[in-house]
Amino acid sequence: MDFSYTEEQQMLQDSVQKFVQNSYDFDTRNTIIASDDGYSLENWQLFAELGWLTVPFSEADGGFGGSAVDLIVMMEEFGKANLVEPFTPTAILGGGLVAALGTDAQKAELLPRVMDGSLQLACAYAESTSRFNLASVSTSAESDADRLVINGSKVAVLNGPSADKLLVVARESGATTDRSGISVFLVDSESEGVSVQAYTNVDGKRAARISFDCVAVPVAQRLGEAGGALVALQAVIDRAIVATSAEAVGALEALLQKTVEYSKIRKQFGTAIGTFQALQHRMADMFIECQLARSIVIMAAMKLGSSESELEKTKSVSAAKSRVGRAIEKVSQEAIQIHGGIGMTEELDVGHLFKRVTAIDVMFGNADYHTERFASL
């Protein structure tokens, strides 16, 4: 299997690298996190101008027609810089659901606005009792004449505070954990009955707990057929898993690089700690973990775009998330240990990268969950 990037992918990688080098240093990121929006509107518009927001979408939908491999090329570089802009919630999750389930009219209305940077989306699917089971949905959508009334609560809604539109996963029929009966609805974040409790995650990104109290939604705002959204939702989440896993790989590579650099200047007993063989072995192990994680993420991305069965694609996604989770534990903790106490301070970017990869490990199912999922398939 050829893991080398094409010329177009290398150009995409170079464009992200240049942006990070010129416009996204550690101090700039801290300023953005402290802002009211929690991300840079100027950067978001630049993403649109550079065409990055079109990468996840097909040419038929007006996008770049990028593959999952194209996507991870970008996400790996995003991870190295620890970008806080809501690319995953808006372009991959929200935009992905619209592209997968929406009618031609819904796509024409929403996707161009996502790609030009004028529309922010959030996918409200997780619930406090669902854990990582996408089929566990207690939020209800009950029919009332030519509309549906949504009641329930969603947690950990990424980009929830900034979203203009919410993609709400709700149950129209069946028991709480039935795989059928689940639909996705497009809800305006300013609708009556929508309550958004915003907060900042440990990694600095914004999220929200969103409650729906008798929120009336026209039937035309349903995406796809009634009760048939779970398969598409799982496919979109799987793509997001591969993308965030690539982001984690980039962050881990940054942690490794910063740890090696620090070991060359930090002195103990009159000599740089990087000369100690025990620490050299530990950093070599960190390098191996990064390479293993990177290889399996590329393999999973290639399988998502292949003609293999859905079962094989699902297995490759869980294998990647499980392997990346193990790498996160090893590399991030070693980076902190070698840096010492300074590694956990707000003044050093190592601690911020550690928090980000820790958050990614839990997103969409941790390593233990995906190990069990892989074994069960």
Q: Which helix (H) or strand (E) segment is 190 a member of?
A: none
Q: Which of 201, 227, 253 is the last residue of a domain?
A: 227
Asked, for residue 126, whether it belongs to a domain, the answer is yes
Neighbours of 229 (CB within 10 A): 29
Is 1's pLDDT higher than 70? no
Q: What 3-state class would DSSP assign to 192? A: coil
Q: Which helix (H) or strand (E) segment is 305 a member of?
A: none
Q: Which of 102, 85, 83, 82 is nearest to 94 (CA)?
A: 102
Structure confidence by residue, pLDDT tens digits, 18-27: 999 999 999 9
Q: Which of 64, 80, 115 is the last residue of a domain?
A: 115
Q: Which of 368, 262, 283 is nearest to 333 (CA)?
A: 283
Cα atoms found within 13 Å of the Cα of residue 320, Cβ hemisphere only: 32
Asked, for residue 58, whether it belongs to a domain, the answer is yes
Q: Which of 115, 131, 162 is the last residue of a domain?
A: 115
Same domain, 244 and 173: no
Same domain, 268 and 312: yes
d(CA 149, CA 24): 43
DSSP-derived letter for residue 50 is T
* Overall domain count for the chain: 3
Is 13's pLDDT higher than 80? yes
Cα atoms found within 13 Å of the Cα of residue 170, Cβ hemisphere only: 30
Structure confidence by residue, pLDDT tens digits, 46-58: 999 999 999 999 9
Same domain, 237 and 358: yes
Q: How many residues does the chain have?
A: 377
DSSP-derived letter for residue 173 is S
Residues of the chain with pLDDT > 90: what percent? 92
Q: Which helix (H) or strand (E) segment is 18 a member of?
A: helix 7-23
Cα atoms found within 13 Å of the Cα of residue 161, Cβ hemisphere only: 14
Same domain, 253 and 327: yes
Q: What is the pLDDT of residue 5?
A: 82
d(CA 356, CA 79): 9
Structure confidence by residue, pLDDT tens digits, 196-227: 999 999 999 999 999 999 999 999 999 999 99
Q: What is the mean pLDDT of the chain?
A: 95
Structure confidence by residue, pLDDT tens digits, 236-288: 999 999 999 999 999 999 999 999 999 999 988 889 999 899 999 999 999 99
- Domain holding 349, by residue range, is 231-376
pTM for the model: 0.96
Task: Assign residue 93 the CATH number of its domain.
Answer: 1.10.540.10
Q: Which of 135, 47, 124 is nearest to 83 (CA)?
A: 47
